[in-house]
Structure 1
């Protein structure tokens, strides 16, 4: 499936641990929920991205992508690395507004 450019840009930047490249994909009022914790606005999202990039070493593989609505997408990625369990498939649930991410929920 063809994903919107903003999602592809975010995923590539996140994989490359490029915090500034990834944060550029978000609207100023965006919210990210990861591991049950919410990160509101680009300052909190930047801190979350920087922490996630430094905590573990991992690789990602895009497994599946589904369009859920006009501006909603579910992307499944497999992460393999030095985190507890070593392998996990995660859903990245994106909500867009125009060419920006306004909500991202990451969960198994």
Structure 2
């Protein structure tokens, strides 16, 4: 199923598919924070390193299938399949956008 995502979020999932950590980090504001698996990563350098580690540690595909709004956040639910513990799993991505950049992202089951 295809859903209509805001440009910054669509670019996030496109960059995630290619594993390009540098391109992905540039989609975030300078002071953005990502929370994933209980860990926080603040700033583009930390976000780039987070993505670089994830893309070398695991092989996976992610397919967004639902989008909703929750106040200031855009929630994208995606199906994630790969060689990681607990695969497959549906994850919720809570995006906070600032202009055309991602200012915050929290990923939870």
Q: How many Å separate the matches in 2 of 1:43 and 1:24?
A: 9
| Helix, strand or coil at the partner of 1:74 | strand
Structure 2 segments unaligned to the other structure (5+ residues): none
1:72 matched residue in structure 2? 73
State the Cα deviation string for residues 18-58 of structure 1 (Å, max 9, x = none): 11221111000000000011001111111101001111111
Q: How many Å separate the matches in 1 of 2:16 and 2:102?
A: 14
Q: Contact 2:25–2:45 (CA<8 Å) still a contact in 1?
A: no
Give the CA deviation at 1:67. 2.1
- Give runs of ≥4 in structure 1 deviating > 6 Å: none
Give the CA deviation at 1:72. 1.9
Pairing 1:25–2:27 present:
yes
TM-score, length-scaled by structure 2? 0.92
TM-score, length-scaled by structure 1? 0.93
Give the CA deviation at 1:2. 2.8
